[in-house]
Structure 1
Amino acid sequence: MNTNMSPKWKLRKNLPSYRLVQTALPAQSLAYILTIIFFLSVLILLYVPWQQTTMGFGRVVAYAPLDRQQVIESPISGRVVKWHVHEGTRVKKGDPIIDISDNDPNFINRIREEKNALLQRLEAARSREDNIRSRILSLRSSMGSAVNAADSRRMMAKDRVRASEQAVDAAKAALKTANLNLDRQKQLWEKGLTSKRTLELAELDHTNAETGLDRAKAAYDAAVKEERALNSDTGKVQQDAEASINDAKASLASAQSEVARVLEDLPKLEARLSRQENQEIFAPRDGIIMRILVNPDTQQVKEGDGVAILVPDAEDKAVELFISGNDIPLVGEGRKVRLQFQGYPVLQISGWPETAVGTFGGVVKLVDITDNGSGNFRVLVVPDRDDRQWPSSRYLRQGVRAKGWIFLNRVSVGYELWRRFNDFPPNLPMDDPEMKSLLDENGGGDKGK
């Protein structure tokens, strides 16, 4: 008996059933080789380049907001009378879509009468304004004439005062002369050198001179009082004229206010009239009527209610994708995008875009500065001119669902797996000035040197 046999060989020799459940040597070798290949593949994949992407879902829209789906609204309240289109009808700009009739058939006529009355008010207010302006000019002219006349009377009174003053001086001189003559005649009378008659005449002249002085003084006082009165009258004339002018100006302001009120009410009335007259709604742009929102016959609509949905013809297409805020720091204008449109078969491996089949190229044109309320950000993607053209409008209609992969950074497969397992965001660009500043503050800049 060979004592050098291993326990394994002893079991095979003594237990035939054990030999039946053992793996064949070629299979064991193959398993070892596959295991080694698996681990080598994993090690190799850890260093294989990987294109980081962030995926978003969205839809096809028109690039210009005016070319996007829009609701045609009713400009007035009324009743639907006639439809000129049906769902799917292609319309040109200005084509009739629907006729609406007001519930009151005489409403337009009443608005027109109200407008005519308002225009008459405007004409009367403007006429009153012109008349008041003419009155102000006349008052100013008459005020000048009245003030000039009052000044002339005042100057005449001043001349009379001056003349009365001279008359008083003359009367004083005459009285002085009469006094001298009376004294001389008295002396001569006492000496017997003159007659009684001459003395009496001298006394009469003296009395006349005193009377003349009193009369001159009275005339002077009257002239002074007249001058004062005329000075006051001149001020009163000017104040009365200015009061009349101010009253006319107040009337002018009232007329101007009336004109302003009418001019304020007139556009509103014209807008109401224009809306009421616009009882036929026309297509605002070329496009297709997608939906009719009201019943074709006699349905009541209010002002501002939607009557139809128009999808305008748009050549410039875009895709709006919604991206998670976890990846949004690296999404910026100019990033490349691969797009899959609903209904097109596609093969896409996000990490190796070179192998993509059935996708179309795009470029990020706009990233919203705020989310949509759910933590996702809207990204607007336009066609990449360096890639193949997107499908025509016949196949790529507005609203078609789309899926997009926005290219971020190139990393290794190992790093990408580690990032995804830990739910970390993609690498932030280290050449960003804000990142450099943050690293310098935390000491990262020194470590990197």
Structure 2
Amino acid sequence: MNASQRTPHRFTALETVKVPRVMRATFYMLLVGFLAGLAFLIYAPWLQTATGRGAVTTLNPNERKQDINALVPGRIEEWYVRDGSAVEKGDPIVRIADIDPQLIERLQAERQQVDLQLQAAQSALATARLDERRSRELFEAGLAARRDYEQAQIRIAEMEGRVAAAQATLNRADVSLSRQSVQIVRAPRDGFIQSLNAGDSATYINAGDVLATFVPDGAERVVEVFIDGRDVALVKRGDRARIMFEGWPAVQFSGWPSVAVGTFGGIVVAVDQSAQPSGRFRVLIAEDKSDAHAWPEERFVRFGAKAQAWVLLETVPVGYEIWRQLNNFPPELPPGEDAAQTR
């Protein structure tokens, strides 16, 4: 009998137990997934962004929504527009009438009287100059005293003062008459009337009261967003951004803007030097004309519409970006700025 026949087999039950194929497949799947996830975190690029929310506005204050004010006190006599009316530059908006219907006629009569006084003063001045010329000739010929010649010169100075006073009075009368005569408020530029804020002929208004709200046409749109102070130090003029407008269908991937759908390109044109009361900093983003997709028409994205912007910064691994977000660290500095800050 050999040795193998003399030694009994041990752990025969354990030898019959095998790892199930499902468990083995699960193990390999988890291992491959772990390695793939680790490789993804290390090697996959992620574009860092500074995010801000805001609204559509314009750079030029003349192109923003503005109030139409009354030029003179009085009452509303006639409206030429209504809510939503489109107007061109110079079109009448409202006519204002003074509470005294005879005011313009009295101002015109007063002006005529002042004009007559001016003409009389000018005639007197012309006469005084003739007298001064004759007095000078007689004085030079030795036929008149110096005192008469000096009195003639004084007379000219008095008449010149009266002419100047009459001219100033006439100018004031013209200003008063023009202010009361030009009582038609006109549109400052092309646009439309958003709302009328005054009543009818029973409503008395003062000079400067808001009559209507006017919105210009053809304004250059920009997006005004507010960015956290942690990230604003890395945002500068000329940085590119991606914008998502309210009500516009979009699928956004902030770290991979190339695969985003429904977002539009922008360029940072201004960054505030001081924070708003909320602690955030205002950043203005204009349309990127070089982008493949132009911004939606104004009828789709109007002034005041909400928007969200992502200012594009540096590219880092996905794992670093997750670690940064968990620790609430700021994004990476560009290489040139990092060296400059170190010095």
| C-alpha contact 1:71 1:308 (8 A) present in aligned 2 | yes
| C-alpha contact 2:104 2:181 (8 A) present in aligned 1 | yes
- Give the residue type in structure 2 aligned to 1:145: A
| C-alpha contact 1:332 1:367 (8 A) present in aligned 2 | yes
Instruction: Provide the C-alpha distance between the structure 2 equivalents of 1:258 and 1:320, rounded to a whole number of angstroms.
Output: 59
Pick one of 291, 294, 309 that aligns with 2:213: 309
Question: Which residue number corresponds to residue 405 of structure 1?
Answer: 310
Pick one of 137, 144, 148 that aligns with 1:141: 137
Cα 1:381/1:298, change in 2 over 3 Å = same
SS of the aligned residue for 1:404 comes to strand
| C-alpha contact 1:125 1:255 (8 A) present in aligned 2 | yes
Pick one of 255, 260, 272 that aligns with 1:356: 260
| C-alpha contact 1:115 1:269 (8 A) present in aligned 2 | yes
1:115 aligns with 2:19: no
| C-alpha contact 1:62 1:314 (8 A) present in aligned 2 | no
Question: Which residue number corresponds to residue 57 of structure 2?
Answer: 61
The root-mean-square deviation of aligned C-alpha atoms, in Å, is 3.7
| C-alpha contact 1:81 1:298 (8 A) present in aligned 2 | no
Question: Which residue number corresponds to residue 4 of structure 2?
Answer: none
The structure richer in helix per residue is 1
Pick one of 75, 82, 86 that aligns with 1:79: 75
Deviation of the 1:320 alpha carbon: 2.5
| C-alpha contact 2:41 2:319 (8 A) present in aligned 1 | yes
Query: Which deviates more from structure 2 when the two are superposed, residues 396-405 or residues 281-290?
Result: 281-290
Question: Which residue number corresponds to residue 6 of structure 2?
Answer: none
Cα 1:113/1:403, change in 2 over 3 Å = same
Instruction: Provide the C-alpha distance between the structure 1 equivalents of 2:229 and 2:191, rounded to a whole number of angstroms.
Output: 36
Instruction: Provide the C-alpha distance between the structure 1 equivalents of 2:118 and 2:217, rounded to a whole number of angstroms.
Output: 46
Instruction: Provide the C-alpha distance between the structure 2 equivalents of 1:264 and 1:413, rounded to a whole number of angstroms.
Output: 78
Pick one of 341, 344, 361 that aligns with 2:245: 341
Q: Where does 1:256-267 land on structure 2 (aligned, <5 Å)?
A: 256-267=160-171
Cα 1:426/1:270, change in 2 over 3 Å = farther
Cα 1:377/1:110, change in 2 over 3 Å = farther
The number of equivalent residue pairs is: 328
Question: Which residue number corresponds to residue 7 of structure 2?
Answer: none
Question: Which residue number corresponds to residue 290 of structure 1?
Answer: 194
Larger Rg: 1
| C-alpha contact 2:76 2:201 (8 A) present in aligned 1 | yes
| C-alpha contact 1:286 1:313 (8 A) present in aligned 2 | yes
Cα 1:297/1:109, change in 2 over 3 Å = closer
1:329 aligns with 2:260: no
Instruction: Provide the C-alpha distance between the structure 1 equivalents of 2:229 and 2:152, rounded to a whole number of angstroms.
Output: 70
Instruction: Provide the C-alpha distance between the structure 1 equivalents of 2:275 and 2:159, rounded to a whole number of angstroms.
Output: 55
| C-alpha contact 2:63 2:219 (8 A) present in aligned 1 | no
Question: Which residue number corresponds to residue 93 of structure 1?
Answer: 89
Instruction: Provide the C-alpha distance between the structure 1 equivalents of 2:124 and 2:83, rounded to a whole number of angstroms.
Output: 58
Cα 1:336/1:106, change in 2 over 3 Å = same
Instruction: Provide the C-alpha distance between the structure 1 equivalents of 2:118 and 2:326, rounded to a whole number of angstroms.
Output: 78
SS of the aligned residue for 1:349 comes to coil
Question: Which residue number corresponds to residue 3 of structure 2?
Answer: none
Question: Which residue number corresponds to residue 191 of structure 1?
Answer: none
Cα 1:141/1:313, change in 2 over 3 Å = same
Cα 1:425/1:78, change in 2 over 3 Å = same
| C-alpha contact 1:335 1:364 (8 A) present in aligned 2 | yes
Instruction: Provide the C-alpha distance between the structure 1 equivalents of 2:333 and 2:150, rounded to a whole number of angstroms.
Output: 76
Pick one of 48, 52, 56 that aligns with 1:52: 48
Instruction: Provide the C-alpha distance between the structure 2 equivalents of 1:130 and 1:421, rounded to a whole number of angstroms.
Output: 92
1:384 aligns with 2:271: no
Instruction: Provide the C-alpha distance between the structure 1 equivalents of 2:155 and 2:23, rounded to a whole number of angstroms.
Output: 116
SS of the aligned residue for 1:351 comes to coil
- Give the residue type in structure 2 aligned to 1:91: V
Question: Which residue number corresponds to residue 393 of structure 1?
Answer: 298
Deviation of the 1:104 alpha carbon: 0.7
TM-score (norm 2): 0.78
Instruction: Provide the C-alpha distance between the structure 2 equivalents of 1:326 and 1:115, rounded to a whole number of angstroms.
Output: 66
Deviation of the 1:245 alpha carbon: 5.7
Cα 1:137/1:315, change in 2 over 3 Å = same
Structure 2 runs not aligned, ≥5 long: 1-9, 15-19
Query: Which deviates more from structure 2 when the two are superposed, residues 345-354 or residues 278-287?
Result: 278-287
- Give the residue type in structure 2 aligned to 1:318: V
Question: Which residue number corresponds to residue 12 of structure 1?
Answer: none
Residue deviations 1:244-264, cap 9 Å, x none? 666555554454444444444
Question: Which residue number corresponds to residue 179 of structure 2?
Answer: 275
SS of the aligned residue for 1:327 comes to helix
Instruction: Provide the C-alpha distance between the structure 1 equivalents of 2:151 and 2:276, rounded to a whole number of angstroms.
Output: 63
| C-alpha contact 2:139 2:149 (8 A) present in aligned 1 | no
Deviation of the 1:41 alpha carbon: 2.6
| C-alpha contact 1:362 1:383 (8 A) present in aligned 2 | yes
| C-alpha contact 1:328 1:377 (8 A) present in aligned 2 | yes
SS of the aligned residue for 1:111 comes to helix
